[in-house]
Amino acid sequence: MDNLSYNPRSRRLRQPATPRRRQNPKSIAAQPAKPTPQSKVESTRFRLFLVWLILVMGGVVLATNLFRLQVTQSAKLRQQAREQQMIFLRPFVPRRPIVDRTNTVLAIDRPVYTLYAHPKLFKRTKTEVADQLSPVLRRPVADILKQFDRGNSGIRIEYALDEWMADRITHLQIDGLELIQNQQRLYPQQDLMAGVLGYVDVEHQGQAGLEFSQQKFLERSVKAIRLSRMGNGMLMPDSMPGGFLHVDDLRVQLTLDSRLHRVAQAALREQMKRYEAKRGTVIVMDVKDGSLLALVTEPSYDPNRYYDFPVERFKNWAITDLYEPGSTFKPINVAIALETGAIKPDAVFNDEGQIFVDGWPIEDFDFSSTGGRGPLSVTEILQHSSNVGMVHVIQQLKPKVYYSWLKRLGLGQITGIDLPSEIASRTKDKEQFLESPIEAATAAFGQGLSITPLKLAQLATVLANGGKLVTPHLVRGLYDTEGQLHSQPTLPPPRQVFSPATTQAVLKMMEAVVADGTGKPAQIEGYRIAGKTGTAQKASADGGYYANAKITSFVSIFPVEAPRFVVVAVIDEPQGGDAFGSTVAAPIVKTVMEALITIEQIPPSAPPPPPKSEATEQPAAAETP
């Protein structure tokens, strides 16, 4: 056996010993000493302690975070979870219709359709599709083809198609056309009452008029449906409440009469065209409760296509713009003077034609041709619309008393009508009014103070209903199809301002204005009518007055023996040398009153009582300022 040796003592074969490698002393010294059993135990304990410490610290952190999540932030996190997992969906419900007092529909929701085209899905050529759509949409084929070329899908071809047109398109059975249904507000009367109704935008939100101010009446209350979001993002209803899609049959009924509105609008437009006026308004108010039968403003707009009109058309300037009323304010001043006892109904004042107050000249409008008229009764002052005579009347009051009465009549306040954006009438501040005599003098004939046409109508009702200040309003209430009242706006109670004796005296004077004064164009045979004309200079925004701009107006109360209605017409900036309240505004009021007589079936007036005999009539005492 090669490389093996025999040891007789061990009796074993053994390999020859390999020579040992000499180790470097330095390498021997570098080797660590073998750990002792004691050191191994200490190392193990340290590792266990370290792991235990890490576990404890982790547990503390987890417990702290758990406390934060479940206690400190639980409410917030619960809310976030609900927002992420639950959706409350309010089903779309049409707005309530609006009708006039005769149940004529003024505004209603209707289903309409938007037509989309997806040319990539057409199985016919674009030209063939356009040829079939052209007679339905009433548009040229070339225009439809231009729309098809805008893209391959999702092209809006037409908006607000009615059901009849949508049915015709469906029957064409053209692949690649899509009809999406939505709701649209329809105004069947078009521009007839746009200034009152306002309009609804594409998001079905009211933006003007009653559509904006009467949201609580027009929007139906519907319970929202709760939907839960599933893990894959799908929405599932938690429950389906019974009757949640029930739509009530209530409608908002107005006090307006569309028949009267149409007559007033036509008469106003005719006069505006004849005199090239800038704008105009006609107001008809029931004197008992302030309900409005007509509130016409021109120029108007079509609320079905509101986007085609300038934004200034959307406001109702009869309640948003101020003007100086001029002579139509004179009967109010006469009532103040009578109520305070400053004058008597038979008082007489001298009309010099022109006077100076605090260095300022005041003259009658016809002074250059007529001159002074001499002694005039209060009735004659109104008949001739004498500015000088009215200054003498107001000078019988202390300025402080006169100013307090203007405030008592609501100047400086809004009327409270149920339309948005009404602006308050204005007077000079008290200090300026009391310190400067010219302020009371100009207010005597309706200049230097500013009101809205609606405020003028409200003040006229005070003279017509025995001295009560009522709140103008348009909304009668919520009614069902059977005519049952379900809800009604709450109005402030009438406020007594003048005594019935005062208003009766002023009405008699205003009747003389129509019978023998500047209001003759408003006469209607067989009816007693009280009225007052007004032709006022138009105030400039920079102060002073425009040289060639004026506002004409006429206010009437009829029938005098039992007043029921006030009719006001105001026309802004009529052109021509013959443009006055008597020539421009009075004929409009006459036309409207004739329509009222027919609609309300007002019988002819009884003849006025004969004048007292000279033997029993009290002599008129001449008064001078």
Distance CA 285, CA 3 (A): 140
Distance CA 395, CA 382 (A): 16
- The residue from 213, 258, 291, 327 that is catalytic is 327
Rounded (to 5) percent helix, strand, coil in the chain: 40, 20, 40
Residues 6+ apart with CB under 8 A from 479: 250, 251, 253, 485, 486
Q: How far is CA 290 from the centre of its chain?
A: 19
Contact 565, 589 (CB under 8 A): no
Please list the alpha-helical segments (H only) found in 294-452. Answer: 317-320, 330-339, 367-370, 378-384, 387-394, 399-408, 430-435, 437-444
Token readout for 129 is 């599709």
Please provide the size of the chain in residues. 625
Contact 287, 564 (CB under 8 A): yes
User: What is the amino acid identity at position 493?
Assistant: P
Contact 185, 204 (CB under 8 A): yes
Distance CA 521, CA 492 (A): 36
Q: Is 404 among the residues known to form the active site?
A: no
Contact 295, 328 (CB under 8 A): no
Residue 4 half-sphere exposure toward CB, CA atoms < 13 A:
8
Residues 6+ apart with CB under 8 A from 263: 591, 592, 595
DSSP notation for 150-168 = T-SS-EEEEEEE-HHHHHH
User: CB count, 10 Å around CB of 183?
Assistant: 15
Token readout for 235 is 């929405």
Contact 291, 516 (CB under 8 A): no
Residue 5 half-sphere exposure toward CB, CA atoms < 13 A:
6
Strand pairing of 12-14 and 235-237?
unpaired
Tokens 């029930």 correspond to 246
DSSP notation for 268-337 = HHHHHHHHT-SEEEEEEEETTT-BEEEEEEES---GGGGGGS-GGGGS-HHHH--B--GGGGHHHHHHHH
DSSP notation for 479-532 = E-TT--EEE----PPPEE-S-HHHHHHHHHHHHHHHHHSTTGGG--TT---EEE
Distance CA 569, CA 582 (A): 11
Strand partners, 143: none
* Residues designated as active site: 327
